[in-house]
Amino acid sequence: MDRRDVVRGLPLYKQGAAPGEGAVKLSSNENPFGPLPSVVEAVNRMLSGFNRYPSMSATEVRSAIAERFGVDTAQVAVGAGSTEVASQLMHALAGAGDQIIFPWRSFEAYPILTQVAGATPVPVPLTKDLRHDLNAMAAAITDRTRLIFLCTPNNPTGTVLHTEEVEEFLAKVPQHVVVVMDEAYCHFNKEPGSVDGLDLLDRHPNVVALRTFSKAYGLAGLRIGFAISTPDISNDLRRVATPFTVTALAQQAAVASLAVEDELNERVDRIVAERTRVFDALVEQGWKINPSQANFLWLSTGDDTDRVDEALTSRGVYARCWSGEGIRLSIGSPEENDRAIEALAAAAN
């Protein structure tokens, strides 16, 4: 297909609705807590210097990440959010005629970024219980496969992958195919036996752990994410990166965030407690929901989705809805969650 036809065929990314005053925004899986004072201070210190370019090698933040996770700085690559790092992976590793496999439904950026990189998306449907179908994903591998994305916990269904099943899967993946573990929500995952991408790196040089500061760390508006992989893959990512996309503000905010992880984890625990509370309330109301290990819940509303979404928005509650499929409700502050519980009670059959 002509390049421009490919671009014209792409959907415009649909951001979670931005509601007006008095409404609650539970549509983008953001952290409901405002930035910590020490992180604000770090950003403030940079404000007087933004006539200068940021560090392109981002050495300070990369070494802070490396130290935190016990890897070499050469194994860390950063981008303006892990969405950009995902795009770097695609541009570095796949081109025209190459295939990128990912679960579906999953992160909406996968098919878009794949096509922008000129490669072909190979979406593999989730199982009935909304988990990755790893057997089907392994069966989808061809000579043209270059990259595979696994998303755990999966956006938008909240399901997680376990170490054993991922090891079994990796045994079927050829060495030259890179497997990306997209772990944007890993901090919220409390399920025993869950896979941790970083634990796989030693034995599987074709694995990349993809993480972000946007969710648990609450830096969504500043844009910084990172990949940990072999130095070779990491260098390739830095080769294809658009120069200077990670601002000095984002770099310093990330360094400051790593220094206050205990405080951030305490917030994560509060969000996880709220997740349980909201889940229980909605199950009680009769909604069909899978347990979620992320900072959102997935309501399988199917054909009823538009009606429920309308009921929510008419009460000032904005979730993310996929017509005909379901609704993803982010976990917000207790007050915001109460609003969502009330609005859903009114919509329950």
Ligand X SMILES: *Cc1c(COP(=O)(O)O)cnc(C)c1O
Binding residues for ligand X (CB under 6 A): 29, 81-83, 107, 151, 155, 182, 184, 212, 214-215, 220, 225
Cα separation, 57 vs 54, whole angstroms = 9
Question: Are residues 116 and 89 in contact, defined by beta-carbon separation less than 8 angstroms?
Answer: no
From the CB of 294, what's the least distance to ligand X, in Å?
A: 8
Question: Are residues 325 and 288 in contact, defined by beta-carbon separation less than 8 angstroms?
Answer: no
> Could you give the 3-state DSSP secondary structure of residue 112?
helix
Encode burial over 65-93: b for 16+ CB neighbours within 10 A, e otherwise: bbeebebebebbbbbbbbbbbbbbbbbbb
Q: Which is closer to ligand X, CB of 182 or CB of 274?
A: 182
From the CB of 25, what's the least distance to ligand X, in Å?
A: 15
Q: Which is closer to ligand X, CB of 120 or CB of 152?
A: 152
Q: Which is closer to ligand X, CB of 88 or CB of 214?
A: 214
Q: Which is closer to ligand X, CB of 112 or CB of 220?
A: 220
Tokens for 142, please give them: 């061809």
One-letter identity of residue 269:
D
> Could you give the 3-state DSSP secondary structure of residue 117?
coil
From the CB of 121, what's the least distance to ligand X, in Å?
A: 15
Q: Which is closer to ligand X, CB of 222 or CB of 340?
A: 222
From the CB of 286, what's the least distance to ligand X, in Å?
A: 28
Q: Which is closer to ligand X, CB of 119 or CB of 347?
A: 119
Q: Which is closer to ligand X, CB of 294 or CB of 317?
A: 294
From the CB of 210, what's the least distance to ligand X, in Å?
A: 7
Cis peptide before 19 (omega within 30 of 0): no
Q: Which residue is nearest to ligand X (CB)?
A: 81
Cα separation, 124 vs 245, whole angstroms = 31
Q: Which is closer to ligand X, CB of 109 or CB of 119?
A: 109
Residue spans of beta strands (DSSP E) within 28-97: 76-79
From the CB of 263, what's the least distance to ligand X, in Å?
A: 20
Encode burial over 125-153: b for 16+ CB neighbours within 10 A, e otherwise: ebeeebbbbbeebbebbeeebbbbbbbbb
Q: Which residues contact 109 (CB under 8 A, 6 or more apart)?
A: 13, 83, 86, 87
From the CB of 244, what's the least distance to ligand X, in Å?
A: 17
Q: Which residues contact 128 (CB under 8 A, 6 or more apart)?
A: none
Q: Which is closer to ligand X, CB of 169 or CB of 217?
A: 217
Q: Which residues pair with 287 in a beta bridge?
A: none
From the CB of 28, what's the least distance to ligand X, in Å?
A: 8
Pairing label, strands 178-182, 225-228: unpaired
